[in-house]
Amino acid sequence: MNIPFLDNWRRRHGDDRPRGGPTAHGAGGSRGAEDDPERAAAIAELLSECELLRVRAERLGLTLDDTPASLAALDQLPPRWRDDPEELPWVGNDAGLYLGTVIVRTVPGARWRIWPGGHPVVRLASGREIGVVEAGLDWASHGAPQLSQVYAEAAEA
């Protein structure tokens, strides 16, 4: 998923290289967010906002505290967002980013990785990458896989 505001963030932080070219994959010695702890922390903070999901959950009495238990609680919410085809993809995107946030904050060695084009994934210490946004969209649309299940699989790896 392309995240247009990430390009603005990159420009503000001195990284205005074009995306999608050879340097985006590391050819030519480019440094990625995973090589710069300050930049990685800023990206993690940006991706952890998930404002729509946090507001929606708060209205239903659930505070999202970036823990695995909160993923299980999200799995139990009534999926009222499915009634609004415009809101559903936004909730799904936020759910995926929230899932990624919980994994990055609680699974040792997990970190965000931004693919060329701005697509965020979580890379585990094993090197496996999890498409958390896709998982969040599937969860929002169909209820499966459950967010807590995706987390459990990541934590086992």
- Ramachandran category for residue 14: left, alpha or beta (phi over 0 → left; psi -120 to 50 → alpha): left
Q: Stretch 122-142: mean pLDDT, rounded?
A: 97
18 burial via Cβ count (<10 Å: 0-12, 13-18, 19+): exposed
**Percent of the residues in the chain that have a pLDDT greater than 90, as a whole number:** 70
Residue 157, pLDDT score = 77
Task: State the greatest distance between any 2 C-alpha atoms of the chain, in Å, as a whole number.
Answer: 50
Residue 33, pLDDT score = 52
62 burial via Cβ count (<10 Å: 0-12, 13-18, 19+): middle
pLDDT in tens, 46-93: 999 999 999 999 999 999 999 999 999 999 999 999 999 999 999 999
Residue 27, pLDDT score = 32
Given a cut of 70, whether residue 20 has pLDDT beyond it is: no
pTM value is 0.78
